[in-house]
């Protein structure tokens, strides 16, 4: 039993500022979603609503078809791990893991197994953990919660590359073993792209796009081949990124290629590949806009 998600005309305000504006979003149960957006786009706000951390200023937030706010049956099976986790810093790692037993489906043995695998020092106070280990503790809590809706908000921050890789693999293994709904919010788009089934892009408090990964990848293409041939093939197309190595060039374009164009460029010796999710994300969220 994994949880679906539905937001209907949801607005969330912080004072006079609208973090989310009239958001409508439906996520089917039992899939892995990527939640992408630039800084301040509204990703964390959206996740906070799904975990009943916050209440919408307007609209309705349903998880498993039920209102999530103060709904014990729902929130006890929803896990949101925020960057750095929500821990009592004066507690030990072990005591923090034991707090998870408040959840009906908490798997303490799994938590300890993960703690050993990720080399978490059980007797150490949370406040004494490095940033990376703190992130790992959050990830372990999120996984061992065995939640029907598990959300990881920038949980990878501070983790080194091997740890991130191990976390994604563990997440996938857990998902295959026990299908549930997962939402990964991250800026490391290329790292998680292979794990995602659908992608939601949030921009300026609104849902910009919500498609399956294949649909995103078909919104553009990567053309690789002899530089002059690639330049000819890409002429007139919206070029997102270019790379050149010797006489070989790779160009990412934001336009889907029609069958005739595809045939023509393939015959000219150009390889066509899917567009990188990150390149497309940058394109869709306006590369001319800068900001932290």
Give the nearest distance from C-beta 273 to other proteins in angstroms.
37
Give the nearest distance from C-beta 103 to other proteins in angstroms.
5
Q: Which stretch binds other proteins (CB under 8 A): 96-104, 117-125, 231-239, 262-270?
A: 96-104
| Long-range pairs, 172-180, Cβ under 8 A, ≥24 | 172/32, 174/143, 175/32, 178/146, 179/2, 179/30, 180/2, 180/3, 180/29, 180/30, 180/146, 180/147, 180/148, 180/149, 180/150
Q: Which stretch binds other proteins (CB under 8 A): 94-102, 167-175, 177-185, 228-236?
A: 94-102
Of 120 and 265, which CB lies nearer to other proteins in the complex structure? 120
Q: Which stretch binds other proteins (CB under 8 A): 2-10, 73-81, 162-170, 209-217?
A: 73-81
- The answer to whether residue 84 forms part of the interface with other proteins (CB under 8 A) is yes
- The answer to whether residue 109 forms part of the interface with other proteins (CB under 8 A) is no
Of 63 and 254, which CB lies nearer to other proteins in the complex structure? 63
Give the nearest distance from C-beta 161 to other proteins in angstroms.
22
- The answer to whether residue 223 forms part of the interface with other proteins (CB under 8 A) is no
Q: Which stretch binds other proteins (CB under 8 A): 53-61, 189-197, 254-262, 281-289?
A: 53-61
Binding site for other proteins (CB under 8 A): 44, 48, 51-55, 70-73, 75-88, 98-104, 145, 147
């Amino acid at each position: 039993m994994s949880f679906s998600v539905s937001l209907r005309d949801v607005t969330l305000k912080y004072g006079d500022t609208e973090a989310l504006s009239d958001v409508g979003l439906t996520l089917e149960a039992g899939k892995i979603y990527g939640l992408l957006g630039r800084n301040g786009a509204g990703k964390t706000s959206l996740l906070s609503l799904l975990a009943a951390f916050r209440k919408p200023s307007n609209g309705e937030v349903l998880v498993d078809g039920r209102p999530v706010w103060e709904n014990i049956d729902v929130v006890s099976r929803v896990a949101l791990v925020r960057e750095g986790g929500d821990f009592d810093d004066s507690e030990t790692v072990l005591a923090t893991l034991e707090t998870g037993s408040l959840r009906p489906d908490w798997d303490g043995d799994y938590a300890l197994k993960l703690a050993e695998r990720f080399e978490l020092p059980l007797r150490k106070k949370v406040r004494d953990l490095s940033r990376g280990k703190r992130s790992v503790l959050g990830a372990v809590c999120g996984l061992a919660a065995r939640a029907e809706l598990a959300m990881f908000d920038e949980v990878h921050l501070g983790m080194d590359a091997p740890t991130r890789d191990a976390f994604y693999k563990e997440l996938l293994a857990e998902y295959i073993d026990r299908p549930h709904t997962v939402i990964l919010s991250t800026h490391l788009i290329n790292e998680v792209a292979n794990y995602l089934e659908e992608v939601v892009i949030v921009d300026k408090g609104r849902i910009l796009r919500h498609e399956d990964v294949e649909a995103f990848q078909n919104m553009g293409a990567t053309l690789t081949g002899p530089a002059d041939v690639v330049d000819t093939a890409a002429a007139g197309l919206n070029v997102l990124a270019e790379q050149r190595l010797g006489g070989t060039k790779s160009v990412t374009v934001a336009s889907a290629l029609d069958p005739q164009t595809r045939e023509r460029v393939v015959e000219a010796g150009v390889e066509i590949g899917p567009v990188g999710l990150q390149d497309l994300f940058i394109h869709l969220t306006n590369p001319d806009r800068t900001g932290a």
